[in-house]
Chains A and B, each alone.
Chain A
Amino acid sequence: MTLIKVDKLSKTYKKGDNLIYALRNINFDISEGEYVSIVGKSGSGKSTLLNLLGGMDTKAEGGIYYNGKNLLQMNEKELSFHRKFTVGMIFQSFNLIESRTAIDNVKLPLIFSNYPVMLRQTRACELLYNMGLYNRALHYPSELSGGEAQRVAIARALANKPKVILADEPTGNLDTATSAEIISLLEMFNKKHKITVIMVTHDKETANRVSDKTILLSDGEIIKTTYKEKQ
């Protein structure tokens, strides 16, 4: 069942008198529970596409349809709802709030979603426990390793039980072993909890290995879509 439909999506920006296409006529569908990787070189438009999917940016032409509703035409309230409940975002640089402990970072989306106050602590503990970080709950991001910080970010992204995880180069700042751990975590949530994962990465090999569908972008255009062979 199609969850996301990207239809004739284009994004331009001006550089002097020239109109530059960051994305040009992008079309694809993503089904529920699918693991999709977007790969390409730097500047190919991967992160721009992910930000549009996450509702962080809405200045584009065409359409991004979530359950039939165009994200690009949503008002601020609808976009806020989308970021709270539909998608969970993971960033390369983790983007944890340095002044808040791991558990407080995980609780933050629960605050914005009006999650019952009494249950927030339990929910955050549960998420950290699942990430193997229960003993790091009261640590600040500066006291965590890169892998731990990214796992806290994943826990935070999952707090409001989103349908889609949007991961922007989640292993970009991590060593090989830790990267593998993070990828397995994402795989686990995808397979076990049927969460749709859209991951932007440089690493074509990993993308091909874990993804149901790999979209190759170059200069803002899809040049190739690879589907994983069904075993």
Chain B
Amino acid sequence: MKISDIIVLAWDNLRRNIFRTILTTTGVAVGIGSLSSMISLGKGVSINISKQMENNDIFTGLTVSSRNIDFDGLGNKTVLFNGEKEVVPLTENTIEEILSYPEVATAFAEESKPAMISIFDKKISTNIKAIPVNMKDFYPFNKINYGSFYTLDNEPSVILSKNVLGKMGIAIEEENTNLTDLQDKTIIKADSIIGKNIEIITKVFDLDKIDLITSKQKQLPVKNDTTILKIKGIVHSSAFSAGIFSDGIFLPPATCNYIPSIDLRNVYDIINDQQGKYGKYTSVHVRVKDFSQLKTVKQRIEEKGFNVFSIGDKLEDFEKIFFLLDTVLAAIGTIALLISIFGIVNTLIMAIYERRKEIGIMKSLGATSRQIKFIFYFEAAIIGLIGGIVGVSGGKLLSQFSSRVANSQLGNFIDSNIEYFSYSWKIVFLSILFSVAICIIASIYPADKASKIDPLNALRRE
């Protein structure tokens, strides 16, 4: 008996009870669809979100500081703490040395100044941050949403973060803007912001207010200083971006230095008699070329006596969570599949009772037990194949829909279209193969039972 004959016989048998076959196949499709969706969700979340994080900066960025920052103590307000370690000052030489590491893509001093900014008669207090021109190649500045990044380190331009605009009550009009979400905001077209002037108001010492004669100071000897710069672009870094890029306004280092401002950190250091102890810079931002080099670079910098902080350290914890997520999701999918397996076993056992006489006739015509078994295996395999294909296709369609819904809901938060489900060809192929295999396994008992039917008894019963 040829395999093609077995397939035809199996197909005929399934077609005969088409409604039951459809129901059983649907059960398998739901099971395989759930399993493949769950696995692809687990993979998608771990791969795509990790990739998203790596592509951004959260896992390729390091923050180097002289001060030992006790992050665990943040909640207890014991933030700054030198401990017993000898303090190594952060200077230009430090940055140069870090830049000489082959694994390092770029490094720059994290300099920021508190300022009040004003556009469209709206004002807000924020930080102005010095970002060198070469950051144009790195996230988030390689993905400027509107306008462009500045080209000179002394250009009188700024890049606004979308978050700052949001805090000022300004929303950029976009194609998919949901007006109901922006009821309390002023909606402005990006074109009308780019190229506009922005006022940066900083505090400087006002020598006129210092009363050297009476020494009775009634108010702080400070005054406002206004610098006017041009808005060159608007950037929106995702939730996976390092903190320094998520808020504030960004401007070239020379321009930032040009803006006068009281360096409150230095005042604090003067009070504590620590002037010059920590070096010129508070912290340095370092980007490694590849996520895998993060640990090496971190170790090298730490060996120099600096404190280094990086979220990338936590990736191993993330990987454990992803593994747990994969396992839990696969378990949920497997439960759905198990239920469908019971459906197959039930269908095939029912078929044995219905086709008892037929099996007897086939045996009387010369069919062997093996051939009868194979007819049942192929029936199960066909159910598995169709169920697998339908399940994986349905799962993929549903996952695309789910991804779209999730992105539409979380898009503003994450700011990128993440494919939450990773339906690789490997998952598709293995799911269908698994579907066929599991259906054949489910058919072993019914097929064995069918093959053992005594033709004499089967025909006598009728």
Contacts and interface: CB of A to CB of B under 8 A. Distances in A.
Interface stretch (A12-20, A112-120, A122-130): A112-120
B420 to A, nearest CB: 46
A84 interface: yes
Interface stretch (A2-10, A93-101, A175-183, A221-229): A93-101
B459 A95 contact: yes
B364 A56 contact: yes
A162 B364 CA distance: 13
B368 A77 contact: yes
B462 interface: yes
A121 to B, nearest CB: 13
B360 to A, nearest CB: 8
B366 A81 contact: yes
Interface string A133-166: 0000000000000000000000010001000000
Interface in B1-38: 1-2, 4-5, 9, 12, 16
Residue among B12, B361, B363, B459 with max Cβ neighbours from chain A (10 Å): B361
A113 B358 contact: no
Contacts of B5: 111, 117
A92 to B, nearest CB: 10
B9 A54 contact: no
Contacts of B366: 80-81, 83-85, 109, 112-113, 160
Contacts, number: 59
Nearest to A48: B456
The B contact surface, by secondary structure, is helix
Interface residues of B, number: 24
B362 interface: yes
B1 A83 contact: no
Contacts of B364: 54, 56, 83, 89, 95
B365 A156 contact: yes
A108 B12 CA distance: 13
Interface in A38-92: 51, 54, 56-57, 76-77, 80-81, 83-85, 89, 91
Nearest to A86: B366
Contacts of A95: 357, 360-361, 364, 459, 462
B212 to A, nearest CB: 112
Nearest to B17: A99
18 contacts: A56-B364, A56-B456, A56-B459, A57-B456, A77-B368, A80-B366, A83-B363, A84-B365, A91-B459, A95-B360, A97-B358, A99-B12, A100-B12, A108-B361, A108-B362, A111-B1, A111-B9, A117-B4
